[in-house]
Structure 1
Amino acid sequence: MSALGGVVRSGVGRRRVQTVVVGLVVMIAVTVAVLGGSLMVAARAPFDRAFSQQHGAHLTAQFDGARAMAAQLSASARVAGVAAAAGPFPTATITPASGRGGPVQPITVVGRAGPGGPVDAVTVTEGRWATGPGEIVLQADHRLPRRLQPQVGDALPLSGPAGGQTLTVVGVARSVSETAGGWVVPEQVAALTAPGATAGYQMLYRLAESDTAAQIESGRAAIEASVPAGALAGARSWLTTRTNSAGSVVLFVPFLIAFGVLGVLMAVLIIGNVIAGAVSTGTYRIGILKALGFTPQQVVRAYTAQALVPAAVGAVLGVVAGNLLVVPVLAQTNEVHGTTDTGVTPWVDLLVLAGALALVTATAWAAASRAGRLRTVEVLAVGRTPSPGRGQWAARLAARLPLPRAVTLGLAQPFARVLRSATVVAAIAFGAAAATFAVGLGVSLNAVQATESDGDVVIFPGRPISGPPPEGAPTVAPGPPQPPDPVAVVEAITAQPGTSGYRGVAPTELTTAGLTSALQTLAFTGDDSAHGYQMISGNWFSRPGEIVVSRPFLTATGTRVGDSLVLTDHGTPIDVRIVGEVFNVESRGMQVLTAAETLAATQPDLRALEYHITLTPGTDPVGYVKALNAALASVEATAEVAEEESDEILLVVNALTGLLTLLLVTVAALGVLNMVVLQTRERVHDLGVHKALGMTPRQTIGMVIASVVVTGLVGGAVGVPVGVIMQRVTVAEMGHAAGFNLPASVIDIYHPAELVLLALGGLLIAVLGALLPAGWAARTRTATALRTE
């Protein structure tokens, strides 16, 4: 082994605390970086690959066949900015009469002679393409289990305007652009269109510039200007499809980036502090090395290598941990695309590994460069004790405080090494910021889940009882349940003491131009329909013909609050106006909320309503349900206490947040530990003097802990505002990544008392980091300390 290697090995083994700190902080930073980078790639890589291979449509446009002819639409392919186009394809909306035990909803079918073409080359995954009337190819639906999806060879009877017809499923295909729910031959569309109605048309465009929403909107406007006024009924951007395809994975990226930034900054600060401290406490040893012939560059390389050894181990462990954590998060993306991606991305691993080691090298080299500049004679003569006079002003001020002398001595110690103390303040601040951010993120996510509240009590109309019925519930005879009389149910609800409000909810499926899949629609009755919903802009609906929707719906349809559009229910058009934007994550924001009277023309079955009841404060839900079931004894309806379901994605986010916060707080505490160890070793002779003058072990512990009080309080005070800013920015970005605007109740969640407690968390981190070196200082023998120079 070379002399330089021996110095490196000796330094790593001797400075165990510093070695552990460097290894842990690098491991955590690399873990978060690998996790975030892998998820960013995984969220889009499968979609982008498929989109490129299938020449996906940047813009899927739906046109009103009564306002534009096919030749006029074909001419739109030559608009400036359009790189390629396919169509026009005739379209219709059909409703299967029955399913395979799964939900039945309207779907948009497109008349298309073949799966290929310059835009949206559909991939047939099973069976074949439709070649004649009576045949249909269905889009693979990842949202339903395979056992619930129609299979090749199944007969698909239709209801609504096409009622009485039956289509045979001859194939299953996948369109990465999601341009249709199914495909038939073009001549089949006329038979599927309602009598007297005109079939719509679909055009698919690839744009020359399509990377941003503004570029997509520019292309859409140019296309709309090239066709007759009012002909463009709706358009969907590929950016919306890509966001939806990534599912919940995109939600993880913003908060992982936030933790990654914290981890990197803490790594730079703490590693720099560790190496600077090693140089400070090893000045005498550095002088000896130089006296033995080591050049300044060799000394710098030795101390840099002492940081690189544990950093390399930590980086490798971080890569492994990051890849292990990414696997369960990718389950949904794999289900969407039918892929089996593990999330392990070698180039991400190598990039993060190389970046981490380069950062450690640069930081350690900068901190160790002081060792190369030290003059041998001065180092051997002076040693490592801080120069007299450093922090004397702080010691004099602290001595005036009405506190025990041991405590005042500790309070003044951080001012003897101001730069070192500043780096520890920063590390504590980052730890406090991580804790503040984690608490805020958790509260925000819980606030999101609270917006999905179904009330305190739910009445299921005509629901057969499985297992023992709730106490007080009516006995249900075997056989199909009969819907209850809505008037009798409402009378029982309003007459029940403890009722604050109620809403009846009737779900149905509607379609609109430009969207290929059905929209889940909730029709409301009652005086509490807005309960649990948070408005972003506009107002809640107040009369028939008004609807409230979420941002993803507005984005997908290219509409805004105040616009009018036409919804279709089993072939019956319904003119509605958007009066408000609501925060509603159900159906990924593609849900329509309206009054039941809006759908009166389609005769919704109001007897199939579910009733959600809000209780007055202090009402016992169990007693209320028992009494209400007694009142409902004359009708077949059952009341139960509403159960809150935990969102799996929120649980995963909370778990990851808690884990990463714990790791960052631990690293911050280790940074404090490292500083206190350095201070104690530098002042070990002073410690011996204090003990010789009568300082007890308990007073020694108090002095050491007091030495971190100032840094802890300052770090907490600085870190809390940083954490609040991180929470606001990250939560907003998570909402935007999912396509939502968030209400103030989700973002503004901190209270003054909570912020004070979180600020004191910085002091807690500092004290936890100081406990071990305080115990070591208390156990140090006086004679041993006095002999140390």
Structure 2
Amino acid sequence: MRATLRWAHSDLRTHRGEALFLVLATAGIVVSLLLATALFGYATNPWQRIFTQERGAHVWIHTAESAQARKLADLDGVQSVAGPYPAASTTLASRGTRASVELRATPERPTVGRPLLTAGHWLDPATPDGVVLESRLARALLAEPGDTLTLPGSARTVTVLGVADSAEPRYRPGEQPGLVWALPSAVPHPTSQVIGLRLTDPDDTGYAVQRAVTVLGAGAIGEVSTWQQARAEAQGDNRLLGQVLGLFGVGALLAAGLAVHGAISTRIRGHLRDISVLKAIGFTPAQVVRVFLFQHIAYAVLGAVSAAALTQALGSRFPGRLGDAVGVWQGLPGHTVALFAIPVGAVLFIGATTGLAAWRAGRVPPVPVPRGPVAGGRGLGARFAAKGGSGTGFRALAPRPSAAEDHSARLSTPVPVSVPVRRTLGFRRTAPGDERGAGSVHGLQAPASAGPSSGQLSGLARRALALGVPPALVLGWHTTFVRRLRSLATVARLALPLLLIVVAMSAWTTIDRFHSRPEQIGLPAALTVHTDAGLSDRGTRAVLDRDPQVAAAYPGVEVAALVPGQTATIALRGLGTRHHPYPYALAEGRPARADDEAVAGQGLLDLLDVHVGDWVRMTVGDQPQILHIVGRSIEPENAGRVISTSLDTLRDNDPHLAPTLYQLRLRPGADPQTVAEQLTTAGHGHLDVHAVTNPADGLSPLRSVVAGLIVVLALIGLVELLTAIGGTVREGERDLLALKAIGLSPRQITAITVTATGCTALAAVVAGTAVGTPLAHWLIDAQGRSSGIGAGIAQGPSPVLLVLFGAAAVLGAAGLAALPAARAARRRLADTLSAVT
């Protein structure tokens, strides 16, 4: 045990930097995996907790006021119901902020879909104008218990009595109205009613909706929302962040395992004689394996424990959503198990890769195998020793290992090199009688890293030398690729973290695209304007046309439509006219031009299992609407469950249809918030103006996540690069005598190692970029398809950025190799005797 510890301590002193990077990389990987777990728990468990505690309804159905909604309580599979509650749509304003809401008349606190109060108290008959706000709506209005809210366009006010959490779809500006519970006296003119169904079997949700439509009639159904939709919406960006962290965490763990495997394999090749000595003095193969295994497991344990402690102690203090996610996750039942299992899993994986590499050390024979001609003639020194002869003007130093006590004498003894060796080495004599014997090098036998089959220089290398390419560059390139399997393995290990960095850069660029060019991802409009009955279409257009910051206004309507099979509702949208079409961002197909043509989001195509070119039939009230899907639009709203056509097409079915909303495209440089305030003032309370929600706004934490992942991956790549440099330098020591003998200066010998490292890094950069760019597009588009937005949102880094990234990686690798290569090139010849014997 003492000898084992001394060996490990000596190795640690020799490779301090590599050990530090391994610890930091392991810590970064474990932190990423723990944060991914926290985000997954944060995305799913809060909604699930609320749904369970409030005994949430699996289906919420909005019906006409005259519908016999109470009949739904008698349907098979319906366990209990909430309501029906009279409801009305209106607008609330507070501190200059407005929001569309649904006032729901709730005479008493329900037992199904029971809101969970987070502040204040429930409705009180003593305060007839009191309301309870859904928590997200309260945050949007900056409202809290005791505040007074106004209803624009009227003299009415309401008082906030409480704030509550609900498992129903939450408030989203321009997409989903906020939920407000009020006494029946506060809803004097209801326009619809709402009923919630709690089912015996949640998997029968689709069938329950079909039965409800059959009982009430399609014309009585206004909108249907299910628990699956509410859960998916609640998870939202948190689940995406968790997926990104999990993906990169697993990828980084794999890259770290391969880097450790490569480091140990390279170290074993460089210490074969030392390992043989250990076995000769009594070490068993198992003990040798344990030396490497325990050493690297100790690094992994240190990094994993540090990561777990850091996440547990400071995780809730992380800025933004990450801190909130960790704080919630720490209170969940599975937190302790995950906090223990993830670091242990990472350590076990690294231990497994370490064991595979260390197993080779256990197979090293206790008697050192000669490296001379008997062993295959791997090094140049071995070939010099094996091929003696006469060759006037060509001399090399070939010390014999059997007389170590006479090194100084043998170092001064020139050994002539035969003509076959001259031809093999490929250099010519510069002048007869030249005692330096250096000449002009045009080629060289494969270095120590070459196997018996590597042979002479390739034809390409000889042609390069003939064209005057510096020998150091040619020999460095030849050193990189002379042992193909080993070189390919090194390039593959180094390319993996570079590949993941390219994917991370693509994710960053895609997020920037959402912010800088929203029109390319389905958000050409910056503002949405909703109108009420107090302002006509002509009056609204007049207000919008007077504002010089408004470049274009597209009138439209959006209604809920029942899909074929009547199992869910989708958004049917009519925007723009045939003469002034709305500029949809299309990823497939063409724009809708003719009558009955439409474009659809990916979420709708998946829901209906249709494709571009198909016809779909839907029901709006009692009227069917048949549309021909001619294109797929990038649709970030409503989970992509949107079908869009022109306002004129919808007017063909209903000539009296009037626009209820306007999508505004602003002039470059206009501030949406300022324009919204100006239009609200000009509309005298009849216009509800708000900015279009950009999905990238919820992904702002992803920037810091991506930056942290790039640092972790860079550390892993640095470990692999240091391993490759150390292996090249150690194996080049066998050729140091030969290279100096043929006249190469220390600077040229250094250039060989630097060139070899640069070529390895260049090959890894090319491979990582070539694979990483299409992989990033596929991953981002796959995420877009699963979220309903659709493929076509991926944006890769610019070619200039990729070139700069590749140049930085290659130059950095060459810079790291320069110092150890220079040290090795300036070593005394006597110090290299053990490397060639």
Residue 707 in 1 paired to residue 753 in 2? no
**Equivalents in 1 of 2:317, 2:589: separation in Å?**
36
1:35 matched residue in structure 2: 35
CA-to-aligned-CA distance 1:130-179 (integer Å, 9 cap, x gap):
569946642323244387336358587697xxx88876655443222349
> Which residue number in structure 2 is paired with residue 400 of structure 1?
462
1:263: Cα distance to partner?
A: 0.8
Equivalent position amino acid for 1:430 in 2: L
Work out whether residues 635 and 790 of structure 2, in 8 Å CA contact, stay in contact via their aligned partners in 1. Answer: no
Instruction: Report if the CA contact (8 A) 2:131-2:182 is conserved.
Output: yes
Partner AA of 2:179 in structure 1: G
What corresponds to 1:628 in structure 2? none
Which of 516, 522, 530 lines up with 2:582 in the alignment? 530
Deviates further, 655-664 or 287-296: 655-664
1:376 match: secondary structure: coil
Q: Distance in 2 between matches of 1:345 and 1:488?
A: 55
| Of 774, 781, 786, the match for 1:732 | 781
Question: Does 2:165 correspond to 1:174?
Answer: yes
Deviations 1:531-572 (A, max 9, x none): 4744667845889x99988667999999999555659xxxxx
Shift of 1:124: 3.2
Is 1:250 paired with 2:239?
yes
Contact 2:505 2:797 in 1 (8 A): no
**8 A Cα contact 1:548 1:594, kept in partner:** yes
Instruction: Measure the CA separation in 2 of the matches of 1:144 and 1:665.
Output: 43
Q: 1:359 aligns with which of 349, 359, 370?
A: 349
What is aligned with 2:295?
306
Checking the alignment, whether the CA contact within 8 Å between 1:503 and 1:526 is kept in structure 2 is no
Give the stretch that moved more between structures: 125-134 or 47-56.
Answer: 125-134
Deviations 1:726-748, CA, capped at 9 Å, x for gaps: 312331344356x332352x236
Which residue of structure 2 lines up, in the alignment, with residue 11 of structure 1?
11
Over 3 Å counting, the alpha-carbon distance change for 1:654 and 1:717 in structure 2 is same
- 1:430 maps to 2:496: yes
| Aligned twin of 1:784 | 831
TM-score normalised by structure 1 residue count: 0.73
Structure 1 position 411 matched with structure 2 position 485: no
Cα distance change, pair 680–153 in 1 and its aligned pair in 2 (3 A): closer
Query: Mean alpha-carbon deviation: is it higher for 24-33 or for 128-137?
Result: 128-137
Pair 1:564–1:329, CA change in 2 (3 A): farther
2:790 paired residue number: 742
Does structure 2 conserve the Cα–Cα contact (< 8 Å) formed by 1:100 and 1:147?
A: yes
- The AA in structure 2 aligned to 1:400 is R
The residue number in structure 2 matching 1:668 is 717
1:689 corresponds in structure 2 to 738
Equivalent positions of 1:167-246 (< 5 A) are 170-178=161-169, 181-184=179-182, 191-194=188-191, 199-206=192-199, 208-210=201-203, 216-217=205-206, 220-221=209-210, 224=213, 228=217, 232-246=221-235
How far off its partner does 1:368 sit? 0.8
Closer, same or farther: CA 259–539 of 1 in aligned 2, 3 Å: same
Q: 2:109 aligns with which of 94, 110, 114?
A: 114
Alpha-carbon separation, structure 1, partners of 2:732 and 2:798: 42
SS of residue paired to 1:183: strand
Aligned residues of 1:67 and 1:231 also touching (Cα < 8 A)? yes
Q: Is the CA contact 2:58–2:226 (under 8 Å) kept in the aligned structure 1? A: yes
The structure 1 residue matched to 2:769, chosen from 705, 714, 720, is 720
| 1:468 corresponds to | none
How many Å apart are 1:225 and its aligned residue?
A: 5.5
Q: Retained in 2: the 8 A contact 1:395–1:408? A: no
1:440 is displaced (CA, Å) by 2.4
Whole-Å Cα distance in 1 between the matches of residues 610 and 64 of structure 2?
16
What residue is the counterpart of 1:465 in the other structure? Answer: none
Distance 1:181 1:337 in 2: 28
The one-character-per-residue Cα deviations of 1:252-289 (angstroms, maximum 9, x if unpaired) are: 23332332232122112111111112222222222222
- Partners of 2:633 and 2:254 lie apart in 1 by 38
For residues 238-637 of structure 1, the aligned pairs below 5 Å read 238-319=227-308, 327=316, 331-332=320-321, 345-378=335-368, 388=378, 390=451, 393=454, 395-397=456-458, 399-403=461-465, 404-415=470-481, 417-453=483-519, 502-504=551-553, 530-531=582-583, 533-534=585-586, 539=591, 582-585=633-636, 612-613=666-667
Amino acid at match of 2:166: S
CA 1:610–1:260: 2 relative to 1, 3 Å: closer
1:218/1:324 CA distance change after superposition, 3 Å: farther
Residue type of the partner of 1:272?
H
Secondary structure of 1:105's partner? strand
1:314-352 per-position Cα deviation (integer Å, ceiling 9, x unaligned): 223444566689657773588899969799944333222
Partner of 1:56: 56
Q: Please tell me the residue identity of whatever aligns with 1:722.
A: V
Q: Could you say what secondary structure the match of 2:367 adopts?
A: helix
Q: 1:102 to 1:611 in 2, by over 3 A?
A: same
Secondary structure of 2:8's counterpart equals: helix
SS in 2 for 1:192: coil
Cα 1:37–1:655, aligned 2, differ >3 Å: closer, same or farther? same
How much has 1:782 moved relative to structure 2? 3.7
Amino acid at match of 2:501: A
- Other structure's SS at 1:687 match: helix
Secondary structure (helix, strand or coil) at the match of 1:95 reads strand
Q: CA deviation at 1:761?
A: 7.3
Tell me the SS of whatever aligns to 1:109. strand
Q: What secondary structure does 2:724 align onto?
A: helix
Whether 2:81 is the aligned partner of 1:86: answer yes
Q: Percent identity, aligned pairs only? A: 21
Inter-partner Cα distance in structure 1 for 2:527 and 2:60: 41
Q: Distance in 1 between matches of 2:619 and 2:319?
A: 37
Deviation at 1:201, TM superposition (A): 4.2
**Which SS does the other structure have where 1:103 is aligned?**
strand
Quick one: distance in 2 between partners of 1:173 and 1:458? 31
CA distance in 2, matches of 1:536, 1:60: 34
Structure whose CA Rg is larger: 2
**Kept after mapping to 2: 8 A contact 1:94/1:192:** no
Distance of 1:456 and 1:782 partners within structure 2: 71
Q: Structure 1 stretch 120-129 or stretch 266-275: which is displaced more? A: 120-129
Q: Paired residue for 2:45?
A: 45
Determine helix, strand or coil for the equivalent of 1:400: helix
Mark the CA change 1:654 to 1:688 in structure 2 (over 3 Å): closer, same or farther: farther
SS across alignment from 1:708: helix
Q: Which letter does structure 2 place at the counterpart of 1:75?
A: D
Q: State how far apart, in whole Å, the 2-side matches of 1:337 and 1:295 are.
A: 47
Measure the CA separation in 2 of the matches of 1:140 and 1:457: 28
Partner letter of residue 5 of structure 2? G
Q: Is the 8 A contact 1:732 1:742 kept in 2?
A: yes
More deviation in 140-149 or 528-537? Answer: 528-537
Q: CA deviation at 1:503?
A: 0.9
- The equivalent residue for 1:631 is none
Cα distance, 1:370 vs structure 2: 1.6
The change in CA–CA distance for 1:759 and 1:609 in structure 2 (over 3 A counts) is closer
TM-score (norm: length of structure 2): 0.70
Aligned partner of 1:357: which letter?
Answer: V
Partner of 1:471: none
1:236 shift after superposition? 1.7
Contact 2:35/2:245 (<8 A) preserved: yes
Q: Residues 308 and 339 of structure 2 are in contact (CA less than 8 Å); yes or no, is this contact kept in structure 1?
A: yes
1:103 is displaced (CA, Å) by 0.3
Q: Which amino acid aligns with 1:263?
A: A
| Letter of the structure 2 residue corresponding to residue 436 of structure 1 | V
- State the one-letter code of the partner of 2:771: V
User: Distance between the aligned counterparts of 2:540 and 2:46, measured in 1?
Assistant: 50
Which stretch shifts more, 266-275 or 230-239? Answer: 230-239
